Amino acid sequence: MQDAPILIIGRNAKTGWRVDRRLQALGHMTRAVSRSTTPTFDWQAPHTWREAMAGTRAAYVTFHPDLAIPSAEQTIREFVTLAAELGLEHLVLLSGRGEDGARRAERVLEQSGLDWNIVRASWFMQNFSESFMLDGILKGELMLPAGDIAEPFIDVDDLADVAVAVLTRPELRNRVFELSGPRAMTFAQCATAISGVTGYPVRYTRVPVERFLDALRAQGADQPLLWLMHELFTKVLDGRNSQPTSGVVEALGRPATDFDDYLSKVVASGTWQRQSARASA
Q: What CATH number did the domain enclosing 165 receive?
A: 3.40.50.720
The amino acid occupying position 163 is: A
Residue 183: DSSP 8-state? S
> Given pLDDT bands bounded at 50, 70 and 90, which one contains residue 132?
confident
Average pLDDT over every residue of 77-83: 98
Average pLDDT over every residue of 198-227: 93
The Cα–Cα gap between 280 and 125 comes to 29
Average pLDDT over every residue of 222-243: 91
Percent of the chain with pLDDT over 70: 97
> How many structural domains compose the chain?
1
Res 2: pLDDT: 64
Q: Residue 232: inside a domain, yes or no?
A: no
Half-sphere exposure of 183 (CA within 13 A, CB side): 10
Q: Residue 120: inside a domain, yes or no?
A: yes
Res 219: pLDDT: 85
Q: Residue 281: inside a domain, yes or no?
A: no
Average pLDDT over every residue of 84-93: 98
Q: Residue 113: inside a domain, yes or no?
A: yes
Res 1: pLDDT: 59
Residue range 22-70, pLDDT digits in tens: 999 999 999 999 999 999 999 999 999 999 999 999 999 999 989 998 8
E strand intervals along the chain: 6-9, 30-33, 58-61, 90-96, 115-121, 141-144, 175-179, 203-206
Which range marks the domain in which residue 247 is found? 6-185+238-273
Average pLDDT over every residue of 117-130: 97
Angle in degrees, 0-180, between the axes of helices 223-231 and 209-218, rounded to the nearest 10: 160
Q: Residue 247: inside a domain, yes or no?
A: yes
Res 222: pLDDT: 87
Q: Residue 125: inside a domain, yes or no?
A: yes
Q: Residue 261: inside a domain, yes or no?
A: yes
Question: pTM for this structure?
Answer: 0.95
Average pLDDT across the chain, whole number: 95
Q: Residue 166: inside a domain, yes or no?
A: yes
